[in-house]
Amino acid sequence: MQPVASLVKISIPSYLSNLPIPDSFGGWFRLGFKDWLALVPPTALAAGVGYTVYRAYCPKARPSCSGKLNQVIQLSNPKVVDTIDVEDISGKAAFCRCWKSKNWPYCDGSHAAHNKETGDNVGPVIVKKAK
């Protein structure tokens, strides 16, 4: 443990305290080429750690990252529109609102897995025929 302790308590603080970080905003404009060069490794390390954390907690498959709710249904269409005649519904029908159903536009229960994975609370809209 001695090498790790030495690294954490002595080497890293010494390295960071020797970085040419200016005390004022204007100081950034007075840095020389060697100063900027010295800032490249810690900046690259910080960017790498930040990107790794971003990828770990925000993969592209999640709608919150890509901005898309629909990840699978009719992706080649510019707009997904479905029309169903009320007369064709016998009793009741459950329509998907989570965009995860493999039986689109009907709910197939996929929202349950989505809710469990993301903490969301989405569910279908149920259309019932009037009695």
Binding site residues, ligand FES, CB under 6 A: 96-98, 100-101, 107-111, 122-124
Catalytic option among 79, 92, 116, 131? 79
Nearest CA-CA partner of 101 in 93, 109, 113, 90: 109
Compute the distance between CA of residue 46 and CA of residue 24 in angstroms, rounded to an integer: 21
Find tokens 């810690």 and name the residue: 42
Residue 131, amino acid: K
Instruction: Identify whether 34 is a catalytic site residue.
Output: no
CB of 89 to ligand FES, least distance (A): 16
Please say which residue, 8 or 82, places its beta carbon nearer to ligand FES.
82
Angle at 128 between CA 83 and CA 125, to 5 degrees: 65
Determine contact, residues 129/92, Cβ cutoff 8 Å.
yes
CB of 116 to ligand FES, least distance (A): 13
Please say which residue, 77 or 121, places its beta carbon nearer to ligand FES.
121
Please say which residue, 4 or 75, places its beta carbon nearer to ligand FES.
75
* Residues noted as catalytic: 79
